[in-house]
Structure 1
Amino acid sequence: MRRIERLSAGLDRVCLALAKAGLIGIALVILLQVAQRYGVRAPFAWTEELARYLMVWSGLLGATCAFRRGMDPVILSVTADAPPRRQWLARGMLALCVVIFLLPMLHYSIFGPGWNVERGFLWRGMGRTSPGLGLNMALVGAVIPITCLTILIHCAARVTASLPSPKGTPA
């Protein structure tokens, strides 16, 4: 297995485990919130906020897993028996769309106008804390560049993978 594919597979395992843990965490936190609200009539102030942050992290990490499995919107549908040129065109269009969409998000997560780090999304988040949990908002927002980098690695693995053999021919 190639190095980029191994990296992509390892990142996928980590992201999938974290996304699953986040979904379980959401269910448990909401269950706690409901029990406190209707059982004790004294809900915790932090449960809704934690569930929201877990949802963001789980959703974005789950999106990286979906992308790796090819469950993303298809720009150009090509079958395994299509000519190699058409398959490479489809891969090139996929890479182009992913890069056009993700590089600006990644850039502005780190840098602001004029390549100023102090005006970037994460840096600005470092100066804020969440009201219920007191979390540094940069921790919450860090999932955006993590997602971008992970999908770019998955895209590189998909684009550079060997072309599948047409049906009926040996690999």
Structure 2
Amino acid sequence: MTGFLHQASAQVDRACLLLAKLALIGMALTVLLQIWARYGFDYPFSWTEELARYLMIWAGLLGATCAFKRRLDPTVVQVNPEDQSTWHRVVFALTVLIFLSPILYYCFFGPNMNFERGFLWRSSNRMSQGMGVNMAMVGAIVPLSCSILLLHLAALLTTKKAAT
């Protein structure tokens, strides 16, 4: 099971890194297109700014999962669960779970466990103004990135401790 977790985490990380890079390139090209259309043709497109914003959201959250996997995420106290005691691993896991649990919960449920008041359901009832995209497609990255972070956490916690 440990090997499967590490392999799955590594493959998902490669996919996230590739998608984050593509989103950043797409964002840069979209902004350049907007500048070119605005000043070159004096006719700016209505959808380019919106697309760049959505690509930035996806790139940022996918990039955050890659940073977490590589232990490059910003921390207040540096705790490396790979070479610390069981107590440090438990504290590390709890802090990640305490942070991600409410986010995942409110992605799907609202007050009183009402599914229709959850973030994704409310987003699915809205369309973006410039592109006509269902906003749930944009917001889907939030629970997806949280799930990827949990996968990376499980893989990190199942690594063997360094010899002390």
Query: Could you state the TM-score of these two structures normalised by the residue count of structure 1?
Result: 0.89
Counterpart position of 1:158: 156
- Any idea what SS the aligned residue of 1:2 has? helix
Counterpart position of 1:31: 32
Query: How far 1:74 sits from its partner (Å)?
Result: 5.5
Counterpart position of 2:108: 110
**What's the RMSD between the two structures over aligned residues?**
1.7
Quote the Cα distance in structure 1 between the aligned partners of 2:148 and 2:81.
26
Q: Is the 8 A contact 2:81 2:156 kept in 1?
A: no
Distance 1:100 1:36, change over 3 A: same
Counterpart position of 1:139: 137
Distance 1:153 1:140, change over 3 A: same
Quote the Cα distance in structure 2 between the aligned partners of 1:19 and 1:74.
25
Q: Is the 8 A contact 2:81 2:88 kept in 1?
A: no
Percent of residue pairs bearing the same amino acid type: 51
Distance 1:77 1:11, change over 3 A: same
Q: Is the 8 A contact 2:47 2:131 kept in 1?
A: yes
Counterpart position of 2:85: 87
Structure showing greater radius of gyration is 1
Query: How far 1:50 sits from its partner (Å)?
Result: 0.2
Q: Is the 8 A contact 1:77 1:90 kept in 2?
A: yes
Query: How far 1:160 sits from its partner (Å)?
Result: 1.3
Query: Could you state the TM-score of these two structures normalised by the residue count of structure 2?
Result: 0.93
Query: How far 1:146 sits from its partner (Å)?
Result: 0.3
4+ residue segments displaced more than 4 Å: none
Q: Is the 8 A contact 1:30 1:47 kept in 2?
A: yes
Quote the Cα distance in structure 2 between the aligned partners of 1:4 and 1:161.
10
Query: How far 1:10 sits from its partner (Å)?
Result: 1.3
Quote the Cα distance in structure 1 between the aligned partners of 2:16 and 2:148.
9
Distance 1:79 1:29, change over 3 A: closer
Query: How far 1:115 sits from its partner (Å)?
Result: 1.3
Counterpart position of 1:169: none
Which letter does structure 2 place at the counterpart of 1:151? Answer: L
Kindly indicate whether residue 68 of structure 2 is the aligned counterpart of residue 42 of structure 1: no
Quote the Cα distance in structure 2 between the aligned partners of 1:17 and 1:10.
11
Quote the Cα distance in structure 2 between the aligned partners of 1:22 and 1:122.
21
Q: Is the 8 A contact 1:75 1:94 kept in 2?
A: no
Distance 1:24 1:78, change over 3 A: closer
Q: Is the 8 A contact 1:76 1:90 kept in 2?
A: no
Where does structure 2 lack aligned partners over 5 or more consecutive residues?
none
Kindly indicate whether residue 81 of structure 2 is the aligned counterpart of residue 71 of structure 1: no
